[in-house]
A and B are shown apart, each in its own frame.
Chain A
């Protein structure tokens, strides 16, 4: 008797495909840190399978803890010889657990996720944060807060009054093809210059850029937290938006969002009305670096010799198998100055809200990442995901390092801008 409800149960074929070879073990951050089999992907799959086959109750604290402790970095997916889609297993297991939470816990989780789902609310919250930071209260609070709370406070990014929606939304001309741009939820309000750079770069390459203001959040945060139905409704809204604004490609500058949007086809495969539309949508999704790497750059990318390195965002390297495209672009940009980062594709500990829920583990991973960045000798590090940008920038500031973490597309845009001046 399976411990899972039938709806959105962890897919049986993925469980069966695990051949337990253990190749995932050394790529898993939580296994590397703890050395415990249960904290490895092979162990977690074994636990999911035990619940699925009725050999372990879903109430098991070991099961619940491991499903929560996983970063969801998908490093194991890259190393898996049998091609197990671990992400699907994790998300559906989390969905099953979520359904069993007490109402107040579900309400609390929903409250946080609802914020990302409502652009206007998110915008006004950000403006409140802006005022809080501008007024100087933030600095005062920051100096008064004790221990861990102070660290959480420092994780808050510096924001501006306007989000990217106010600056780049709508359509701009161009002859080369129609490109839709995802503005995102966090990207929209916190990473404004990165969104602006994305649009600039695409326009400079001669594309007609379409960034509909009414586009929703992609649902990645919801899916990764195991709220699959919620993610599905976001996906439907997203697909609808870009049906109203037909484009050839949908370009995404956030690795986590891109990874899910490429999976819409899978997410909605059981929905007869939506499955084909979702598949067609997913087929057109490109990470911005992947996209730039695939086209002929005209104008070409100027060379600016500089000590530069690149951190693999998990959902880009493992989630989308995009590894070489950003490196090719950054090597073109920095020439001899480009250097490879040790353990470049090991998670930085951000993993959505993991750095808040599992602060200690996240800090150990962050320290490892920072050590590698320092050792590389680079003065700038390319980071193509909002969570990683927040985490690595926070870490660099905490150590007082004069190294900048920037989205690669921002670095490219900056180089073009400088060469035009």
Chain B
């Protein structure tokens, strides 16, 4: 809890109307989009400039306050949940698109700008910003950079990291720093911006973001293939990559997911199929067409029972509907939806899907899997009712087993959602000790006062044991079983 002097000072720094501190006002900032996590922040502060953010951070260092940056609150790893009585630092007031530089193909934005708004603005000028996380209509670029967000176009175009050229950052102690430039070639000193991308709000607050833009692809062709088994779909993926073709999109739905989609949307998917693949190629119209046809051929060669090539954009959208509805369709089945995010090397995709199937069967829970076949990032989605303690226990076990299976296959704990709070203990258990130690050291150098996003990604020493301190007795227990 803040004392009244601290509250007054925060109000002086950012303006009284931009500080929320009544309990009922704070309630709705107690969670992001992560299932089963809720902690009340001590206050919500919405600064309007980098200077105000710097002042808030300096004050936090003096007073020993904790701060958690937050955009639209769509994170899926609990990254913006306020632990340890932290104050939420909302960046939504900094939401301007400052500049689109056509000559250098860059855009300069503030962190609170909605990702889809950047898409719209640059595409109106024939340009292209590829990262397209599922929540792009809601999420902010600041959050995208902090989580190093991915999306459906990751295989061909990479992720947020590949587009960040420069950052203005308020460092944890309150200094304002710029790193990067508009030059594609820039090797002056350490590449600090790459360390800050994906730092999940632990190393600094971004106040301006310079991103790289591409020319907008002139054409896009979409096709959908239905396979009798997941294995057939996976070997199609392997053949496409070996062809070699790098499609813009290569997405899969497993049988449970496609049944749920069909149940919900009635779009004519064969429910006895083992998997479907959504494929898209873009670029020069000729190239897009021939690649799409070649992919269709490869799908048939691998036993696809049905291959549909969209003839125009509208048909393409219809085909893509199945993939877009994967999450909504699953989310409707049970009250609670726990979205997993492991990544494996592309060649191990089938083994991972099989592992998920095994784990699901053992847990007795329904788990639908969909995701990015091209880049090996899967979203096994565990469906349960959080009020059922037994189901929660089984979910936690399955969750852990899925993470372990991915690591055994040479994969990663998280492909695009981040570690946050959800996978913090896994990171500590499964990381290379040397790497973890390096991360700890780095964080303590950057943030000696341990001000930013406490308790996220990994614990700073000294390590706490047992229950985390909770605020006002209002929090739900965190995923108990996740703690080693």
- Asked if A338 is at the interface of the complex by the 8 Å CB criterion, the answer is no
Known: A19-B33, A23-B137. A83 touches B332 (CB 8 A): yes
Contact with B along A15-59 (1 / 0, CB 8 A): 011011111011000000001011010110011001000011000
Q: Which of B110-137 contact A (CB under 8 A)?
A: 114, 135, 137
- A60-68, A218-226, A274-282, A328-336 - the one binding chain B: A60-68
Q: Are B337 and A19 in contact (CB under 8 A)?
A: yes
Q: Which of B9-32 contact A (CB under 8 A)?
A: 22, 24-25, 27-32
Q: Which of B63-95 contact A (CB under 8 A)?
A: 72-74, 92-93
Q: Are B73 and A61 in contact (CB under 8 A)?
A: no
- Asked if B49 is at the interface of the complex by the 8 Å CB criterion, the answer is no
A61 to B92 Cα, complex, angstroms: 24
Q: Are A81 and B328 in contact (CB under 8 A)?
A: yes
- Asked if A13 is at the interface of the complex by the 8 Å CB criterion, the answer is yes
Contact with A along B34-72 (1 / 0, CB 8 A): 010000000000000000000000000000000000001
Q: Contacting B27 at CB < 8 Å: which of A26, A40, A46?
A: A46
Q: Are B31 and A20 in contact (CB under 8 A)?
A: yes
Which residues from B are CB-within-8-Å of A19? Answer: 33, 35, 331, 336-337
A363 to B31 Cα, complex, angstroms: 32
Known: A37-B73, A56-B24, A62-B22. A83 touches B137 (CB 8 A): no
Q: Are B33 and A62 in contact (CB under 8 A)?
A: no
Q: Are B328 and A82 in contact (CB under 8 A)?
A: yes
Which residues from B are CB-within-8-Å of A43? Answer: 28
Looking at the assembled complex, report how far the CB atom of A340 sits from the nearest CB atom of chain B, in whole angstroms.
15
Which residues from B are CB-within-8-Å of A60? Answer: 24
A20 to B35 Cα, complex, angstroms: 8
Which residues from A are CB-within-8-Å of B480? Answer: none
- Beta-carbon nearest neighbor of A16 in chain B: B335
- Asked if B365 is at the interface of the complex by the 8 Å CB criterion, the answer is no
A21 to B33 Cα, complex, angstroms: 5
- Beta-carbon nearest neighbor of B22 in chain A: A62
Known: A35-B93, A46-B28. A17 touches B138 (CB 8 A): no
Q: How many residues of A contact B (CB 8 A)?
A: 28
- Beta-carbon nearest neighbor of A56 in chain B: B24
Which residues from A are CB-within-8-Å of B28? Answer: 37-38, 40, 42-43, 46-47
- Asked if B327 is at the interface of the complex by the 8 Å CB criterion, the answer is yes
- Beta-carbon nearest neighbor of B34 in chain A: A20
Which residues from B are CB-within-8-Å of A37? Answer: 28-29, 73
Which residues from A are CB-within-8-Å of B135? Answer: 21-23
- Point out which of A17, A21, A42, A62 has the most chain B C-beta atoms below 10 A from its C-beta: A21
- Point out which of B30, B31, B92, B335 has the most chain A C-beta atoms below 10 A from its C-beta: B335
Q: Which of A255-278 contact B (CB under 8 A)?
A: none
Looking at the assembled complex, report how far the CB atom of A321 sits from the nearest CB atom of chain B, in whole angstroms.
13
Known: A17-B332, A19-B33, A82-B332. A25 touches B72 (CB 8 A): yes
- Asked if B305 is at the interface of the complex by the 8 Å CB criterion, the answer is no
Q: Are A56 and B332 in contact (CB under 8 A)?
A: no
Looking at the assembled complex, report how far the CB atom of A60 sits from the nearest CB atom of chain B, in whole angstroms.
5
Q: Are B332 and A35 in contact (CB under 8 A)?
A: no
- Beta-carbon nearest neighbor of A42 in chain B: B28
Q: Are B24 and A16 in contact (CB under 8 A)?
A: no
Which residues from B are CB-within-8-Å of A26? Answer: 114, 137-138
- Asked if B318 is at the interface of the complex by the 8 Å CB criterion, the answer is no
Which residues from B are CB-within-8-Å of A83? Answer: 328, 331-332
Which residues from B are CB-within-8-Å of A23? Answer: 135, 137-138
Which residues from A are CB-within-8-Å of B181? Answer: none
Q: Contacting A55 at CB < 8 Å: which of B27, B137, B327, B387?
A: B27
A23 to B114 Cα, complex, angstroms: 12
A63 to B27 Cα, complex, angstroms: 11
Q: Are A35 and B92 in contact (CB under 8 A)?
A: yes
Looking at the assembled complex, report how far the CB atom of A91 sits from the nearest CB atom of chain B, in whole angstroms.
20
A198 to B196 Cα, complex, angstroms: 62
Contact with A along B381-416 (1 / 0, CB 8 A): 000011100000000000000000000000000000
- Asked if B474 is at the interface of the complex by the 8 Å CB criterion, the answer is yes
Looking at the assembled complex, report how far the CB atom of A328 sits from the nearest CB atom of chain B, in whole angstroms.
15
Known: A21-B135, A35-B93. A47 touches B74 (CB 8 A): no
Which residues from B are CB-within-8-Å of A22? Answer: 32-33, 72-74, 135, 138-139
Which residues from A are CB-within-8-Å of B337? Answer: 19, 82
Looking at the assembled complex, report how far the CB atom of A136 sits from the nearest CB atom of chain B, in whole angstroms.
46
Q: Are A25 and B33 in contact (CB under 8 A)?
A: no
Q: Are A47 and B137 in contact (CB under 8 A)?
A: no
Looking at the assembled complex, report how far the CB atom of A24 sits from the nearest CB atom of chain B, in whole angstroms.
8
Looking at the assembled complex, report how far the CB atom of A156 sits from the nearest CB atom of chain B, in whole angstroms.
35
A61 to B27 Cα, complex, angstroms: 13
- Point out which of A19, A43, A56, A62 has the most chain B C-beta atoms below 10 A from its C-beta: A19
Q: Contacting B385 at CB < 8 Å: which of A16, A25, A35, A56?
A: A16
Contact with A along B334-365 (1 / 0, CB 8 A): 01110000000000000000000000000000
Which residues from A are CB-within-8-Å of B29? Answer: 37
Which residues from A are CB-within-8-Å of B32? Answer: 20, 22
Which residues from A are CB-within-8-Å of B327? Answer: 81
- Beta-carbon nearest neighbor of B32 in chain A: A20
A20 to B36 Cα, complex, angstroms: 10
Looking at the assembled complex, report how far the CB atom of A39 sits from the nearest CB atom of chain B, in whole angstroms.
9
A19 to B37 Cα, complex, angstroms: 11
Besides A13-B335, A23-B137, 10 more A-B contacts (Cβ < 8 Å) are A17-B335, A20-B31, A21-B135, A21-B138, A37-B29, A40-B28, A43-B28, A56-B24, A82-B328, A83-B332
What 10 A-B pairs have minimum CB-CB distances, sorted nearest first? A81-B328, A16-B335, A62-B24, A43-B28, A82-B331, A37-B28, A22-B74, A21-B33, A46-B28, A60-B24
What are 13 sample pairs from A and B whose C-beta atoms fall under 8 A apart? A16-B385, A16-B386, A17-B331, A17-B332, A20-B33, A21-B135, A21-B138, A38-B27, A47-B28, A60-B24, A62-B25, A62-B27, A82-B332
